[in-house]
Amino acid sequence: MEGSASATSSPPSQEARPDLNAGSMRGVGSPGCSVFAAVALARAGLTEGGTQQFCLRPDAGFADRMSIESKGNMTRRTSGAADVASPDDERKPSIRDVAQLADVSLGTVSRVINAHPNVREDTRKRVKAAIVELGYVPNMVAQSMRSNRSMTFACVMRDFTVPVLSLFVDSMQKEIEGFGFSLMVASSYHDLKRERELLLGFQQRRIDGLVIATSSEEDPALLTMLREAQFPIVLLDRELPAELDSVSVNHAAGVRQAVLHLADLGHRRIAIISGEPGVHPTQSRLKGFGDAFKERGLTLEPELIRHATFARDAGYTETRHLLELDKPPTAIVAGGTSLLPGVMQATRERGLVIPQDLSVVAGADSDVALLATPAFTVVRWNHDQLGKAAGRFLMERLDNPKLPRRRLTVDAELVMRGSCASPRRTVALRG
């Protein structure tokens, strides 16, 4: 896998404020409705049955005089502050209440809240159900101070708009959120300087762990920062020479199958486009590419091996270069998550039709690959397995820093669809 910029938030738009003296109100739960106002109204019995629910705009707060009209029963109350229950009038549920309802000890409730792994799953579910039923809200700041944990992990990749990377993040988040952890995400855009800045920022924010797909596996400064980080790190699809946990894809297996398939169809001039040469995905794909050529007794031609970046523009540029050769390839393996759209665009501009004029294998599955006509043969792997493992590795390392290094590698496989065919027509057209 090749790895949002932290989204720059724009200031909220300023609405024109209506005249509060005219009784301007908003529905409970609607944007701008005070949570405390909603609670107070609920406790005053004004949110039952078919009654219309209202609350004052937050800039009005709880005025000394508040008029609320129930459109359900057409009754009108005009009350002072004493007539509306304050959120503090009733005792807030405590951790003791949760323990009593779940029939467990205070320590067990604390372990569930703090995502301690040594809690039986049925007990964990019972405690969580009690928390929801009571509406208990743990004081996360106090817990963080007591446990010296922020209950926050971070994830840094090239670009989270890439579908396969989004799938990874989704699986990881689902794995950790059940244990009380939240997830921060940031895109590095394969910028080493940005990655170093992000690492420094995460140190200052005191995150509990990081998953990162670095833009380089050879940068000494970045490697030093990773080794000296004060939190667990899991590498995503990277093979850094550091004692760090990692989850990776065996891209070689998928590319090898792709080339063997193309060779069996009769292709001899098979090209590959991949990303930066200094990272695991590229190295793994090239290994599978070379292994398949050896198995079929084919000769590797350097002009058909193209290194670029993992960006869409690279797919377009490198495909154009290949198709302009005196002897262009009859098949292309687009060895990168984002390269396929560029390959398709360059092919179409040359007036070529896939697969009649050019066979193409996509380096990762996506909606583009699946919904194209014809659908593209792809190299695919299990994102869900990788995401869950990354989250689990972080939590286990956080609980036990002395664990031996863990590495998970999932095999990529070839999924055959309709973008590959015999090169006979291509050979005839090109002479």
* Amino acid of residue 425: R
Most confident of 75-79, 223-227, 318-322: 318-322
Q: Evaluate if residue 280 carries a pLDDT over 50.
A: yes
Least confident of 137-141, 340-344, 349-353: 137-141
Q: Evaluate if residue 18 carries a pLDDT over 90.
A: no
Q: Please report which confidence band the pLDDT of residue 308 belongs to, taking 50, 70 and 90 as the band edges.
A: confident
CA 365 to chain centre: 16
Q: Please report which confidence band the pLDDT of residue 381 belongs to, taking 50, 70 and 90 as the band edges.
A: very high
Q: Evaluate if residue 390 carries a pLDDT over 50.
A: yes
In this prediction, residue 357 carries a pLDDT of: 96
**Helices and strands in the chain: count of H runs, count of E runs:** 15, 16
In this prediction, residue 307 carries a pLDDT of: 86
CB atoms closer than 10 angstroms to residue 76: 9
28 DSSP 8-state letter: T
Q: Evaluate if residue 114 carries a pLDDT over 60.
A: yes
d(CA 159, CA 263): 33
CA 55 to chain centre: 37
Residues 243-266, mean pLDDT to the nearest whole number: 97
Q: Evaluate if residue 142 carries a pLDDT over 60.
A: no
Q: Where are the alpha helices (DSSP H) in 180-250?
A: 192-205, 220-228
Q: Please report which confidence band the pLDDT of residue 348 belongs to, taking 50, 70 and 90 as the band edges.
A: very high
- Provide the b/e sequence for 63-73 (b: ≥16 CB within 10 Å): eeebebebeee
d(CA 414, CA 379): 5
- Please tell me the pTM assigned to this model: 0.68
Residues 419-431, mean pLDDT to the nearest whole number: 66
**Higher-confidence residue: 206 or 71?**
206
In this prediction, residue 147 carries a pLDDT of: 56
In this prediction, residue 236 carries a pLDDT of: 96
Residues 143-161, mean pLDDT to the nearest whole number: 78
Mean pLDDT of the chain: 79
In this prediction, residue 179 carries a pLDDT of: 84
**Higher-confidence residue: 113 or 157?**
157
Q: Please report which confidence band the pLDDT of residue 43 belongs to, taking 50, 70 and 90 as the band edges.
A: very low
Q: Please report which confidence band the pLDDT of residue 393 belongs to, taking 50, 70 and 90 as the band edges.
A: very high
**Higher-confidence residue: 11 or 362?**
362
Could you give the C-alpha distances from 275 to 2, 251, 278, in angstroms and in order? 9, 13, 9
d(CA 36, CA 40): 6
Q: Evaluate if residue 185 carries a pLDDT over 90.
A: yes
